[in-house]
Structure 1
């Protein structure tokens, strides 16, 4: 799963199955996203292009290396506004979070990946 943060305060998330969208969209009482500042893009068009041309090829390669399978974007979630005040928090950090040097392995999602050997239902946000 990949995502981008729009300068206009929207979050765009791409996923093959969308199975992890529920907590992003509304299922979790509290959602905290840790976002590398490099993931901020100016508009929706750029966010979608980033998902398809940056994140997807890296996720495809990661899955091919680990499991011999491919990846694709089957679902896209766009979060534009939160219905419940204080439910969502975005923490911007200066370091690169997501794919680094062509491989995934940093950020909060990586901890679950290292522990289980597979990517959890959701990566925090898109790659650098």
Structure 2
């Protein structure tokens, strides 16, 4: 990839172009110095007492946000409430409610320097929240996910990201799974609804 390899954080110029392009599409992106700064920013942006759903994310696991939120009774934690449902059918039904969370925190598979955001999902559980349902969406990503073009961002997602996800599934004793839903976020009509925290490290897939 011209702007970054799948493993290497993007250059300063690439990050600057990406942030500007995201802003033109009504996505408020900031660059923080480290994963610790990203965690602090999430704690600032999602106030105590808020309703929040934390999506499954290697990036959020790595920076410590998943652990911080798990069992944290200072928030209305929809993920914990979903897991507390008595059976799989009840969990699926509760997950439908999470798409309209006040705060929905997750990650993405790739970001184009031209401002498009690419998201792939097996179940599609976060797609509805990202595209419309959640009142506020906060996306966290390492800058190695920045690609020069939308075509490269899609290729990264269908290639490198899917391969890494398959290896992760195999490590858990699960079978490989195809991409179920594929979303390209090109423009957000509601100003201030979507924010992104970029971290100058290789985080997630």
- TM-score > 0.5, shorter chain as reference: yes
Question: Partners in 2 of 1:28 and 1:97 — Cα distance?
Answer: 24
What whole-Å deviation, never above 9, does each CA across 1:54-103 have from its counterpart, x for those lacking one?
Answer: 010110111122132112112210101101000011111112210xxxxx
> Aligned pair 1:68/2:174, yes or no?
yes
Q: What is the aligned counterpart of 1:91 among 197, 200, 203?
A: 197
Aligned to 2:125: 19
- Indicate the SS of the match to 2:138: strand
Bigger proportion of residues as strand: 1
Q: What secondary structure, in the 3-state scheme, does the structure 2 residue paired with 1:31 have? A: strand
Deviation per CA, 1:15-59, whole angstroms, max 9, x where unpaired? 122122011111111111112111111112111110121010110
Q: What is the alpha-carbon distance in structure 2 between the residues aligned to residue 18 and residue 57 of structure 1?
A: 18
Report the counterpart of residue 112 of structure 2 in structure 1: 6
The separation in 2 between residues aligned to 1:32 and 1:4, in whole angstroms, is: 15
RMSD, aligned CA? 1.5
Q: Does the residue aligned with 2:118 lie in a helix, a strand or coil?
A: strand
| Structure 1 moving runs of 4+ over 6 Å | none
Mark the runs of 5 or more structure 2 residues left unpaired by the alignment. 1-56, 58-107
TM-score by length of structure 2 reads 0.46
Greater relative contact order: 1 or 2 (C-alpha under 8 angstroms, separation 6 or more)?
1
Structure 2 SS opposite 1:53: helix
Task: Confirm or deny: 8 A CA contact 2:114 2:150 kept in the other structure.
Answer: no
Secondary structure at the residue paired with 1:50?
helix
Map 1:1-128 to 2 at 5 A: 3-98=109-204, 127=205
Q: Is the 8 A contact 2:137 2:194 kept in 1?
A: yes
